[in-house]
DNA sequence: AGGCGTGGTGAGAGCGCTCCTACCCCCTCG
DNA sequence: CGAGGGGGTAGGAGCGCTCTCACCACGCCT
């Protein structure tokens, strides 16, 4: 039994330099392999593998002894070897295109990623962070080169890695409908930004506001454009002017600045900001300008992130299920990886959360 | 030449199901391998490998033809196979412990990660996101199991994955000095939180404030405790009372709440918040309470993130080089991986950024 | 002239795992 | 009582790459 087949090899590669184990004074020890486990349990590698992968048709007592061996040796499967043999990597890439990278600090994105990570916990999939590269080609190569099983794209501007086309041969799920048109490739998890925004603006109308400004988000982002359109829709329906538009970039700072510009212009009694961070910034500017919220100006944001709760007054906002979006994205990707069919576009519900600012 | 050695194997595994290529109507094609490239260039696999890895001692014309073959075939090295053969994965784990996960939305963490990612761009290392797991053991297994070459830990509470001890056999770099004591294991990139906080508080003293409160950060985080200590140091030195302490958790919301509690207590004319988000929240609360900033209450934050610039008034803060921290962490990890010696503790400089709130 | 580098290349043995196939043992059925 | 059928297991061929060696030409030195 267990005739170490690689004793010689082991000998030769012992004196490796450089990447030596920093902690272990007893010298570089190689982690236990399936072979080791099998030997210890007195079974073949094949059987040990079956146990590790929870395949049936293994006698219970064998399962027990293999598991014992695993425990004693502290065996962990070598993922590289497994990937090679299985021809799948168990890696899911999270792509944050360069143009969105700046927004990485936005709680929204972080929350989406968290949701995805939470959903993947328990599976053996691993998240690989691909932050926008100037060498788009390099990341593209990486993604297409069979190094990942699937791709999650969190937000995409127009023109960002047009991953949908041009043979990215693995399943891919986007957060948000892509700005570019897409064929049959790609799957999307989104909210109806236009309708959701309209809900928020309609709320302002119902509150009796009629001069409603907006601080729009980045217009090269579908979410930015759609929320602006939703705002427009309601004002048009109500027969109000929709001339008060300032465009920000979703950062609180841009919200502040946008509000300062609005304050320089004609009067208004409400503002709809395309996200909470900008709403937060806007409230800051309003406070400094001596305008009361919601007295003088009512404010509605979008996202329902922690900033809407942190502001004083707390911000009325359109709740977006960021965490759930991440989870659904992950779920859909897993389904696609399992060969199942999945709706190409999934729209999650939003809801208005009324707080103090309106 | 090129006697396909695996034709039979190829035959058997052609009818794989499930994970088929979604795009390619011509059926599941296997990506080109080094073997293919070598055959096309009319050289051996070994030589092709040399070209791919930019080893010298290859005749120029051979390099050219191999590169041409690579180009034509769109060859991308299979990372799994490479990892297996090289016994290193080219994967660096970014660990965000569960107790910190909630803070993931904090621009600070995102920025650190971005800095690291930027530094790693250009290398063939890949970032693997490990968000805190309830099954601490599972992530631990993952990290120790030879699945990653190195680990970056972004923030750690006391008791979080005590990775420093218990043979994590790969190099590991922490953002921030660990709360727990550490032996010779682990490397740290940090700022001197205590001194930096003191700088901020001293600034308030110099501005003539004497009743200085603080909104401290999570006390199970070294950064939280150290900044509190720095505040304490200055007040003690100045002979002021240091009784006005509220503890938050670094979120803007907690800053708001903390300030509301402070407002319920004795008078004060300044507050030092352990980060900008809490400072922002605090300013919100102050505005709502009708206190002027900096007139009635001066505010100093910490981090110099976008919130300090977004607030009105803009927030005086202690700048922390988050992006650089990430970059340095990555740099140190690479150095360790290359077998070089690296200072165990690296302290990056901070500086006071005076804005309107003080 | 023989020996000896020395660039340049190919052969082939792994890396650790999966999974197909063959096989064996034992129970059941005709 | 032998054939047939499984359950359960071992054997072994890859997966695609790296890397050590062996090897082959050539010069060049003595």
* CATH at B36: 1.10.260.40
Q: Decide if pLDDT at A218 tops 70.
A: yes
- Alpha carbon distance A195, A230 (integer Å): 6
Based on the fold, state whether residues B184 and B95 are members of the same structural domain: yes
Based on the fold, state whether residues B70 and B99 are members of the same structural domain: no
pLDDT per position as a tens digit, B63-84: 999 999 999 999 999 999 999 9
**Structure confidence at residue B306 (pLDDT):** 84
Please give the tally of structural domains in chain A. Answer: 3
- The answer to whether B17 CB sits below 7 Å from nucleic acid chain C is no
Mutual orientation of helices B252-264 and B276-288 as an angle, nearest 10°? 50
**A354 assigned to some structural domain:** no
Based on the fold, state whether residues A269 and A200 are members of the same structural domain: yes
- The answer to whether A46 CB sits below 7 Å from nucleic acid chain C is yes
Based on the fold, state whether residues A105 and A182 are members of the same structural domain: yes
Based on the fold, state whether residues A128 and A275 are members of the same structural domain: no
Top residue of B110, B119, B149, B251 to mutate, by most chain A CBs within 10 Å, is B110
- B220: exposed, middle or buried (C-beta count within 10 Å: 0-12, 13-18, 19+)? middle
- Which of B86, B109, B140 is the endpoint of a domain? B86
Based on the fold, state whether residues A158 and A200 are members of the same structural domain: no
Structural contact between residues A213 and A269, judged by C-beta atoms closer than 8 angstroms = no
- Alpha carbon distance B115, B326 (integer Å): 4
**B1 assigned to some structural domain:** no
Q: Decide if pLDDT at B162 tops 60.
A: no
**A357 assigned to some structural domain:** no
Q: Decide if pLDDT at A344 tops 50.
A: yes
Q: Which two tokens stand for residue B138?
A: 């599972």
- Which of B50, B71, B86 is the endpoint of a domain? B86
Based on the fold, state whether residues B272 and B175 are members of the same structural domain: no
Q: Which two tokens stand for residue B329?
A: 């962490």
**A353 assigned to some structural domain:** no
Q: Decide if pLDDT at B211 tops 80.
A: yes
Q: What is the mean pLDDT of residues B268-297?
A: 94
Confidence of residue A133 (pLDDT cuts 50, 70, 90): low
* Closest alpha carbon to A149 in A97, A85, A91, A82: A91
Q: Which two tokens stand for residue A91?
A: 């890696």
Percent of chain B with pLDDT over 90: 63
Based on the fold, state whether residues B272 and B284 are members of the same structural domain: yes
Confidence of residue B1 (pLDDT cuts 50, 70, 90): very low
Q: Tell me the CA–C1' distance in angstroms for A76 and C24.
A: 31
Rounded to a whole number, what is the distance in angstroms from the first to the last CA of chain B? 77
Q: Which residues of B158-194 are buried (b: 16+ CB within 10 A; e: fewer)?
A: eebbbbbeeebbbbbbbbbbbbeebeebbbbbbbbbb
- Alpha carbon distance B299, B244 (integer Å): 14
pLDDT per position as a tens digit, A55-79: 988 999 999 999 999 999 999 999 9
Structural contact between residues A113 and A326, judged by C-beta atoms closer than 8 angstroms = yes
**Range of A296's domain?**
193-320
**Structure confidence at residue A15 (pLDDT):** 36
Based on the fold, state whether residues B213 and B310 are members of the same structural domain: yes
Q: Decide if pLDDT at A9 tops 90.
A: no
Near-strand D residues (CB closer than 7 A): A 12-13, 42-47, 50, 56-59, 62, 81, 84-85, 87; B 5-6, 8-10, 13, 30-31, 33-35, 45-46, 49, 52-53, 75, 77-78, 81-82, 84-86
* Mean pLDDT across chain A: 85
- Alpha carbon distance B162, B137 (integer Å): 11
Confidence of residue A109 (pLDDT cuts 50, 70, 90): confident
Based on the fold, state whether residues B210 and B286 are members of the same structural domain: yes
Structural contact between residues A45 and A53, judged by C-beta atoms closer than 8 angstroms = no
- Alpha carbon distance A87, A147 (integer Å): 10
Q: Tell me the CA–C1' distance in angstroms for A26 and C1.
A: 53
């Amino acid at each position: 039994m267990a005739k170490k087949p690689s004793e010689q090899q082991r000998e030769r590669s012992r004196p490796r330099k450089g990447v030596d184990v920093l902690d272990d004074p007893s010298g570089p020890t190689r982690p236990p392999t399936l072979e080791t486990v099998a030997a210890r349990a007195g079974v073949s590698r094949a059987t040990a593998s079956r146990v590790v992968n929870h395949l049936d048709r293994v006698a219970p007592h064998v399962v027990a002894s293999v598991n014992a061996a695993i425990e004693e040796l502290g065996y962990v499967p070598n993922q590289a070897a497994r990937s090679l043999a299985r021809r799948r990597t168990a890696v899911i890439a999270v792509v944050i295109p360069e143009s969105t990278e700046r927004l990485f600090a936005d709680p929204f994105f972080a929350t989406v990623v968290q949701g995805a990570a939470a959903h993947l916990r328990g599976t053996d999939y691993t998240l690989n962070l691909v932050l926008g590269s100037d060498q788009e080609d390099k990341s593209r190569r990486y993604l297409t080169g069979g190094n990942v099983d699937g791709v999650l794209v969190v937000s995409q501007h127009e023109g960002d890695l047009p991953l949908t086309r041009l043979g990215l041969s693995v399943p891919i799920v986007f957060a948000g409908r892509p700005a570019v048109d897409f064929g049959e490739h790609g799957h999307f998890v989104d909210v109806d930004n236009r309708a959701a925004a309209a809900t928020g603006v309609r709320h302002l109308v119902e509150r009796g506001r009629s001069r409603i400004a907006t601080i729009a988000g980045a217009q090269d982002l579908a979410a930015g454009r759609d929320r602006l359109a939703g705002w427009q829709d309601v004002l048009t329906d109500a027969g109000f002017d929709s001339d008060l538009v300032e465009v920000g970039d979703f950062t609180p700072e841009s919200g502040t600045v946008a509000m300062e510009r609005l304050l320089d212009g004609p009067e208004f009694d409400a503002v709809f900001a395309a996200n909470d961070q900008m709403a937060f910034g806007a409230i800051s500017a309003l406070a400094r300008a001596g305008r009361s919220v919601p007295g003088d100006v009512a404010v509605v944001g979008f996202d329902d992130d922690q900033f809407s709760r942190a502001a004083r007054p707390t911000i009325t906002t359109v709740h977006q299920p960021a965490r759930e979006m991440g989870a659904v994205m992950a779920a859909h990707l897993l389904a696609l990886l399992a060969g199942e069919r999945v709706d190409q576009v999934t729209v999650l519900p939003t809801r208005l959360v009324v707080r103090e600012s309106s």
